[in-house]
Structure 1
Amino acid sequence: MKGKNLRYLNESPAEKGQMIRTGFLLLEHFSLPAFTHALDTIVTANLLRPALFGSRTFGLGDGEVISDLGLVIRPDQALHCSAMQDLDLLVICGGYRTELKASDELLQVLRTAAEQGVCLAGLWNGAWFLGRAGLLDGYRCAIHPEHRPALAEISRSTQVSSEPYVIDRDRLTASSPSGAFHMVLDWIKGLHDKALVEGIEDILAFEESRYRRIKPTENQCVSAPLREVVKLMDANLEEPLELDQLAGYVGRSRRQLERLFREQLGTTPQRYYLELRITEARRLLQHTELSQVDVLVACGFVSPSHFSKCYSAYFGYRPSKEKRLVK
C-alpha cells in the first residue's frame, strides 16, 4: 500500500491553497460510524497532502458526549458563535437516538454560521437541525429515512431526497455512514484534483471495506422497478403518491405494479404504503414531542378518525395510548 500511494504522497499541487477548517458538532447519541467515516476521509487527505484540512470537535456544552455505540468523547470545546469565524465547514453529527430538539442558542449559532459564509453539513438526522434553523429552504437534502417526515414537517420548502447523500451548493447532507464517506469524498473532489481523490480511495479501499454499501438481504430478490417504487413511497409519506403515479415513475402499468408487489413482497402496494406510514407514525409518537395531529399530518393521514382507525387496526390500540419514550 505504501508503494502504491507513494505517488500521491510525493505530489505537490501547483498552487498550495489555504487550509480548509472543519468543525464537527457532536450531538448526544450521534452516529459514531457516520462521524468517523467523514473524519477518516479528511484525515486520509491530510496523510496524502499534509495540512490540507484542519478539524476539531464541538459539544453543546463543556461536558462529554455519548455516541450511539456508548463510547464517550470529550469535544475540543463548546460551540459558540465566536467560533464560526474560524470555520469553513460545520458538520452537525446526529444519530438514530439523537433527540430532535434544538435550543435557541444552537439555532442562533447555525444561523450565524450561514451568515458568515460557513458551509453547513448534517449527518444522519443532522439535516433536521439545519431545517429547524430555516437553513434548508430551497435546498435538496438527505436525511435518514426514520426522520424524513419530521424534517418535511418543519421545513416544507426543502426537497427531502431518498439518496444516501446530497451536496447542494453550500449544504452537504448524508443519511448513513456510507453516505457520509461519499459525501466528504465528493466535497474534496470539488476542492482538489482527481489524483488526491484517487489516493484516498486507494488507501481506504472502499470497494472492499466497511465503506461499501451492502444491499439488505431482503432486497436481493426484489426487482429494480419495485425497489424504486419502495424508495419513492419512503420519501413521500406526508403526501402519499397515487398508485398510477408510482407506476408511471417506473414505466409500469398499475396492474404490473400490483403483480410485482404480490409476487415479490406478498402484499398489495396500498397495504405496503400504509404500513410504511403507520410504522413511521408510531416512531414519531414514541421518540418525538410532536402532537398526535402533527404526526398524522406528517404521515399523510387525512383526519384524526382515519388515523386512529388505521393505527388501532395495525397495532391493536389507539395512538393516544402509545407510550412516549422521549425524556
Structure 2
Amino acid sequence: MSTHLPSSSAPEPPMNEPDVRFLLVPLPTFNMLPFGSFLDKLRFSADDEDYSRQKYCAWDVAGLSEGEVVSSSGVQLSIPLSFKHVDLAQYDYVVVFGGRSAGEMKAMAALYQSFFKQAVARGTTLVAVDNASFLLAELGLFAGCEVAVHWRHQQEFETAFPTLKVSSDQLYCLDGKRISCVGGSAVIELAIELLAQKCGRERALKGLADMLVDETRNRQHYLKSLGHESNQAHRHNRHISRAISLMRQNLSVSLSIEALAVQLGLSRRQLDRVFKTELAISPREYWAEMRMDHAHWRLQNSFFSLSDIANEVSFSDVSYFCKVFKKHFGYSPTQLKKDGKVH
C-alpha cells in the first residue's frame, strides 16, 4: 500500500503553504480502519473538488525506519520516511496509530522514546489513536491528562496506569498538547475537529458525503451496539442503557446492585424488575456475565497476570476467581491460556 496519491489532469495552480501538517506514525500491527479513515478525511479536505493534492493540509508517513510495517490484517504499508530524517518543526501534529495488543505497545515504548521526547521538546501536539495511548502513557507523556481509551481496553489501561484519568465514553479527548482517540471510525470526528481548528469548519466537513457519512457524532456519542448483541431491548430503555454503561465503567469495583440502583435514581426492586422484564436476567447475573466475558477476552489478548486480570473484574482472591471462571465456562483460566479455547 502506498501513500503516494495519483496525479490529476486538472490544471496545477500555484500551491500555497498548507494550513496544517500531520506526521502519521503507524505502529506495528496498526489497525487499517482508523489509519485509512483519518488519512482519507485529510485527503478530502486537502484540496478543491476531489483532486487529492496536499494543498490546504499536508501529511507524511514515518516510522522507526524506512521499509514496511505490517497491519493487524496482514496488509503491508510502505514507510517512506524514517524518524532520523524527520524535521519535527514542519509538523503541527504527530498522530500515532496503535497496534492490536496493548501489551506490545507498552513493551516497545522504549524504542520510540527518543523521537517522542524530541516532539515534546518542539512543542508538537501528540495524538494517540487506539492502543497508541498505552505507548505514550508508558513514556510518561500523558501525565496529568485525561485519556480517551477504547472501552475494550479501559480496565487494562486503568490497571497499567492507575494515576491517569481515563474516559471510555468519549470518542476523543483534547487535553492541551495531548490528544487521544478510541480508534475505529471515531478518527473521522477527530480529524474534523483538528482540521476545523486550522482550516475552518466548512473545509473540515468537506467530503463527508463522498465517505457516505451522513453526519458527525458528538464527542460523547453513546455506542448503541455495546452490550450483548443477542439482547436488543436495552437499547430502548434508558435505565438499562445507563445501568449497563455504569457496569462497564465499574468492572473492577465491588459496587453493590443497591448502590448501582441509587446512581440510577431507582430502587433495587425497580432495577431488578426492568432487567427481568426486558432481558430475562437479573442485574447481578448480567454484571457477573459481563465480568467473566471481559476476563475471558483479556486472558486471550493480553500478557497480564491472573492476579491483574482478576483485579480488573473485582476479584481480590485469585483462587476464587479461577473457581468462578471454571464454573462459568467449563474450563479454568490456565486451560484457556494453554489450549486457546474459544468461548
- Classify the TM-score, shorter chain: 0.7 to 0.9
Matches within 5 A, 1:14-163: 19-48=19-48, 51-80=55-84, 83-97=87-101, 99-100=104-105, 101-162=107-168, 163=170
Task: Note closer, same or farther for the CA distance 1:292–1:169 as it changes in structure 2 (3 Å cut).
Answer: same
Q: Structure 2 length normalisation: TM-score?
A: 0.78
The answer to whether the Cα contact below 8 Å between 2:19 and 2:198 also exists between their aligned partners in 1 is: no
Aligned twin of 1:251: 265
Q: Distance in 2 between matches of 1:233 and 1:60?
A: 40
Q: Distance in 1 between matches of 2:254 and 2:93?
A: 35
- For structure 2, the 5+ residue unaligned runs are 1-15
Matches within 5 A, 1:211-230: 215-216=224-225, 218=230, 220-222=232-234, 223-230=237-244
Q: CA deviation at 1:182?
A: 0.8
Q: Distance in 1 between matches of 2:167 and 2:79?
A: 31
Does 2:195 match 1:188?
yes
Q: CA deviation at 1:150?
A: 1.5
Q: CA deviation at 1:201?
A: 3.7
SS in 2 for 1:246: helix
Name the count of aligned residue pairs: 308
2:309 is aligned with what amino acid?
V
The answer to whether the Cα contact below 8 Å between 1:128 and 1:150 also exists between their aligned partners in 2 is: no
Q: Distance in 1 between matches of 2:270 and 2:17?
A: 55
Q: Which moved more, 1:121-130 or 1:29-38?
A: 121-130
The percent identity for this pair of structures is 24
- For structure 1, the 5+ residue unaligned runs are 1-15
Does 2:290 match 1:276?
yes
Task: Note closer, same or farther for the CA distance 1:81–1:315 as it changes in structure 2 (3 Å cut).
Answer: farther
The answer to whether the Cα contact below 8 Å between 2:310 and 2:321 also exists between their aligned partners in 1 is: yes
Task: Note closer, same or farther for the CA distance 1:189–1:249 as it changes in structure 2 (3 Å cut).
Answer: farther
Aligned twin of 1:11: none
Correspondence for 1:168 among 167, 172, 175: 175
Q: Distance in 2 between matches of 1:274 and 1:55?
A: 46
Deviations 1:245-280 (A, max 9, x none): 433333333222222222222222222222222222
Q: Which moved more, 1:102-111 or 1:126-135?
A: 102-111
Q: Structure 1 length normalisation: TM-score?
A: 0.82
Q: CA deviation at 1:87?
A: 2.8
Q: Distance in 2 between matches of 1:74 and 1:17?
A: 26
The answer to whether the Cα contact below 8 Å between 1:174 and 1:180 also exists between their aligned partners in 2 is: yes
Task: Note closer, same or farther for the CA distance 1:315–1:112 as it changes in structure 2 (3 Å cut).
Answer: farther
Moved over 6 A (4+): none
Aligned twin of 2:250: 236
